[in-house]
């Protein structure tokens, strides 16, 4: 697909600066782009490549003033990075709209139903009473269990497993290998030292505009629902335990784990490899630094770090002090020697 610069500018509400008729057919990084490709410039670290790139079209902040002439056509926008992300989304949407139909072999239960313009890839499985909305794409080797509902404009990538009774809203993306609705980790200790499994009879509910990375696991609730609210973004390799609630527009980075029944507020940011115990609350806007171990509830807007995690600013001060410990130890010994000397002189 080829697009003239003028059409690209229209897609992202930008203004062309240069030849608006020049066409592009693919994307490239600013330092590697070739003729016929589109790139963007937002990070000042890449300024040198702005004047050397061979890209035909560059998306750039409208406030940026050129320091020397360039050959490329510019598309000026308020925020180049956001505009480029929007353009990629539109490009992906156009490509996916062309992907429709039912590939064989695949299994679709006679009681399952699906909307218009769907794609169901080879070796996919749709169980009894499954409902799939319009324009949803289910890629090969996906498993959709009984009574699962998937809304409109969703993308279920290869190898995703969605267990029975789970409910997905609209505009959701789930990447390859992720498991939705596996059993929560519930075992009751017995007098003889063994553990009796507690049946997990709830489900997982995922609201609109959620994206979940590859090889993540979201456990079904013991009773009720594990809930991922609208706009949340979960990275790869994340564990969300039973009955957890993840708030609106919360982001969680890779390899983080959230234990059962914890409630995470709206707009929370959780760094990679963070671990969060069960039955606590993270207030709206809280921030958890990477590799932190959170053992108690966090107030709204508070940032924490460390294991066990505590106030971020205090932690930085402690780290600054700890780096000076050898020097402080030396000074303490010197003071001890001086006090000893003074005491001896007094005697």
- Is 242 marked active-site? yes
Strand partners, 101: 119
**Which phi and psi (to 5°) does residue 208 adopt?**
-60, 150
What CA–CA distance (Å, rounded) separates 240 from 256? 9
**Can you read off the two tokens belonging to residue 175?**
């990447």
SS3 category, 189: strand
- Count other Cβ atoms within 10 Å, centred on residue 87: 21
DSSP 68: S
Q: What's the CA gap between 226 and 8, in Å, rounded?
A: 41
DSSP string, 208-227: TT-EE-TT-EEEPPSSSEEE
Annotated catalytic residue within 71, 157, 164, 242: 242
Query: In angstroms, what is the C-alpha Rg of the chain?
Result: 27
Distance, C-alpha 306 to centroid of its chain: 22
**Helix, strand, or coil (residue 108):** strand
Q: How far apart are CA 57 and CA 34, in angstroms?
A: 10
Contact partners, residue 152, CB within 8 Å, separation at least 6? 115, 133, 134, 135, 136, 170, 171
Catalytic residue positions? 242
């Amino acid at each position: 697909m080829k697009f003239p610069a003028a059409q690209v500018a229209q897609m992202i509400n930008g203004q062309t600066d240069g030849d608006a008729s020049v066409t592009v057919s693919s994307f490239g990084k600013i330092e590697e782009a070739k003729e016929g490709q589109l790139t963007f410039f937002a990070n000042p670290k890449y300024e040198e490549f702005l004047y050397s790139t061979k890209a035909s079209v560059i998306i750039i902040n409208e406030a940026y003033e050129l320091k020397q002439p360039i050959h490329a056509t510019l598309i000026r926008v308020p925020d180049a990075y956001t505009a480029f992300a929007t353009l990629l989304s539109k490009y992906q949407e156009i490509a996916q709209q062309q992907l429709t139909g039912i590939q064989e072999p695949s299994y679709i239960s006679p009681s399952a139903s699906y909307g218009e313009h769907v794609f169901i890839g080879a070796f996919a499985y749709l169980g009894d009473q499954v409902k799939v909305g319009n324009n949803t794409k289910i890629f090969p080797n996906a498993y959709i269990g009984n009574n699962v509902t998937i809304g409109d404009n969703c993308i279920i990538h290869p190898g995703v497993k969605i267990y029975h009774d789970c409910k997905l809203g609209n505009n959701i993306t789930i990447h390859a290998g992720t498991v939705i609705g596996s059993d929560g980790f519930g075992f009751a200790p017995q007098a003889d030292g063994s553990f009796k499994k507690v049946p997990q009879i709830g489900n997982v509910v995922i609201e609109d505009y959620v994206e979940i990375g590859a090889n993540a696991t979201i456990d079904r609730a013991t009773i009720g629902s594990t809930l991922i609210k609208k706009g949340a973004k979960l990275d790869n390799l994340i564990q969300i335990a039973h009955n957890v609630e993840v708030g609106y527009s919360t982001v969680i980075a890779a390899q983080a784990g959230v234990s059962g029944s914890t409630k995470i507020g709206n707009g929370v940011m959780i760094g990679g490899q963070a671990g969060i115990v069960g039955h606590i609350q993270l207030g709206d806007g809280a921030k958890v630094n990477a590799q932190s171990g959170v053992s108690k509830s966090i107030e709204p807007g508070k940032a924490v770090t460390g294991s066990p995690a505590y106030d971020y600013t205090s932690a930085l001060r402690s780290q600054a002090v700890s780096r000076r410990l050898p020097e402080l130890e030396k000074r303490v010994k010197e003071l001890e020697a001086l006090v000893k000397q003074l005491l001896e002189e007094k005697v």
